[in-house]
Amino acid sequence: MNTQNIPKKILYWYDNNKRSLPWRKKNTKKNHEYFTLVSEFMLQQTQVKTVIPYFKKFINKFPNLRALARANEHKVLKSWEGLGYYSRAINLKKTAAILLKDFDGRLPNEIEKLKTLPGIGEYTSRSILSIAHNQPYIPMDGNVERILKRVFLLKTKKQISKENLIKKKSFFSSTQRSSDYAQAIMEIGALICKPSSPICSSCPLINNCKAYKKKDFLIRTRNKLNKIKYFEAKVYKHKNKYLLVRNKKFNFLKNLVIFPMDEIEKKKFKLSFAKKINIKLSNMNMKIIINEEKKKKILKDSFLLDKSNINKFILPSFTKKIFYSLPNSQ
C-alpha cells in the first residue's frame, strides 16, 4: 500500500476540521507542556467532552506547574471532583512537584525519564512526547486501533493483536509536524472513523480503506478480561455518622476515603447472605458484600462522616456507590 501522501492528506483534513479544545490553544512552550500534561492525565479513562469543563476549571485554579505543585491536596481533589479516578489527580500533583524539583519545571523529552513520573506509563509518555515535544510517536489508543482495523480490514485474533497493530502503524508514515499529526489521527478516529456509523464520505483515508471498499465496518475487539476480586465492606454507623478510612491498604484508590474493607475468598462471598454489590474499576471487577457492624472499631486514619455532609465531602464515586446502597442513605 502506497503511504507516501498519507500524512499530507491527514494534516490537510486536520487543519480544516480539528476541534477547538482548550489545551490546544496557542501558548508559550512551557505552558503548552503544562496544558498537555494536565489534559493527558484527565483524558486517561475519560472522554474529551467530559474533560473540557474540568480542564478549564482546573487551569483557572492552577494556571501553571508551580501553582499545582504547591497547592493543598484537598483543593486539587476538590477541583477534580466528579471526574473520577482520583488517583490521577494525586499523581498529577506529585509529578508537578518532581518536575519542579528535578527537571527545572519542564517535561523530560526522553520516554524512560517520563515513565519514572507518577501516573505516566507507556501510552501517556508517548502522547506527551508527540504532542508537547513534537517527537514522531503515534500513541496507540482506541481511535488509532479502529482506523488501522478498518484500513487493513483486520478481523482475525492474530490480525487484531497488539503486536500486529503496532506493525501496521507504519502505514501512517511520518512528518515534521509530529505533534499535529498524532492529534490528527486520533481526531479522525473520534469524529469520523467512529465505532458505529463511520462518516466515510468525510474521511481523508477513504481511498486507502479496505473496510470502505468491502462495506464491512464491523470492528472486532480483543477480549479484555478484568480480574474479579471479592471484598467485604464493613459499615460502622453511629447515629447518622459513618466510619470511613483513608485507604493505605489497597493499591487501587490509594490515599482516598473508603469504607473499611478486607479482601475475601470467593467462597465466603458466595455463602454470605449480606447485601452484595458489583463495582467496575478500569482493570478490576469488584464483588462486595456489605456488613453493618454494631461496634465501632478504632482504626488508623479513620473518621466519622455525617450522612448530611456526604455531598460536601470529597469522596470517590466508589465510596458513594457503597454509601447509597445502604438502607435509608439517600
On whether both 96 and 143 belong to a single domain, the answer is: no
pLDDT in tens, 242-292: 899 988 888 887 778 899 999 999 999 999 988 899 988 767 888 999 998
For residue 183, tell me if it sits in a domain: yes
- What pLDDT, on a 0 to 100 scale, did the predictor assign at position 1? 60
For residue 10, tell me if it sits in a domain: no
Q: What is the spatial distance between Cα 25 and Cα 95, in angstroms, rounded to a whole number? A: 23
- The total number of residues shown for the chain amounts to 330
Least confident of 85-89, 107-111, 124-128: 85-89
Where residue 254 sits, what CATH number does that domain have? 3.90.79.10
- What pLDDT, on a 0 to 100 scale, did the predictor assign at position 297? 67
The dihedrals phi and psi of 284, each to the nearest 5 degrees, come to: -160, 140
For residue 216, tell me if it sits in a domain: yes
On whether both 131 and 143 belong to a single domain, the answer is: no
Where residue 80 sits, what CATH number does that domain have? 1.10.340.30
On whether both 214 and 243 belong to a single domain, the answer is: no
On whether both 206 and 263 belong to a single domain, the answer is: no
DSSP code, position 159:
T
Tally of domains in the chain: 3
On whether both 272 and 319 belong to a single domain, the answer is: yes
On whether both 262 and 157 belong to a single domain, the answer is: no
Is residue 92 within 8 Å of residue 68, measured between CB atoms?
yes
On whether both 31 and 129 belong to a single domain, the answer is: yes
Domain end: 199, 223, 247, which one?
223
On whether both 43 and 117 belong to a single domain, the answer is: yes
pLDDT in tens, 166-222: 999 999 999 999 999 999 999 999 999 999 999 999 999 999 999 999 999 999 887
- What pLDDT, on a 0 to 100 scale, did the predictor assign at position 296? 66
40, 81, 187, 232: the active-site residue: 40
Q: What percent of the chain has pLDDT over 90?
A: 68
Spacing of C-alpha 276 from chain mean position: 27
Average pLDDT of every residue of the chain: 91
Domain end: 202, 223, 244, which one?
223
Residues 6+ apart with CB under 8 A from 103: 113
Q: What is the spatial distance between Cα 114 and Cα 110, in angstroms, rounded to a whole number? A: 6
Query: Has residue 65 got a pLDDT over 80?
Result: yes
Mean pLDDT of 5-34: 95
Q: What percent of the chain has pLDDT over 70?
A: 95
For residue 12, tell me if it sits in a domain: no
Spacing of C-alpha 121 from chain mean position: 11
Query: Has residue 20 got a pLDDT over 90?
Result: yes
For residue 194, tell me if it sits in a domain: yes
On whether both 129 and 143 belong to a single domain, the answer is: no
pTM here is 0.82
pLDDT in tens, 124-147: 999 999 999 999 999 999 999 999
Largest distance between two CA atoms of the chain: 72
Q: What is the spatial distance between Cα 153 and Cα 40, in angstroms, rounded to a whole number? A: 30
Least confident of 75-79, 84-88, 212-216, 285-289: 84-88
For residue 2, tell me if it sits in a domain: no
On whether both 118 and 161 belong to a single domain, the answer is: no
- For the chain, how far is it from start to end, CA to CA, in angstroms? 59
Mean pLDDT of 292-300: 74
Query: Has residue 310 got a pLDDT over 90?
Result: no
Cell numbers representing residue 204 in the block? 481523508
For residue 317, tell me if it sits in a domain: yes
Where residue 206 sits, what CATH number does that domain have? 1.10.1670.10
81 is catalytic: no
Q: What is the spatial distance between Cα 140 and Cα 150, in angstroms, rounded to a whole number? A: 15
Query: Has residue 330 got a pLDDT over 70?
Result: no
For residue 8, tell me if it sits in a domain: no
Domain end: 204, 223, 242, which one?
223
Provide the domain limits for residue 25.
18-135
Q: Which amino acid is present at 280?
A: K
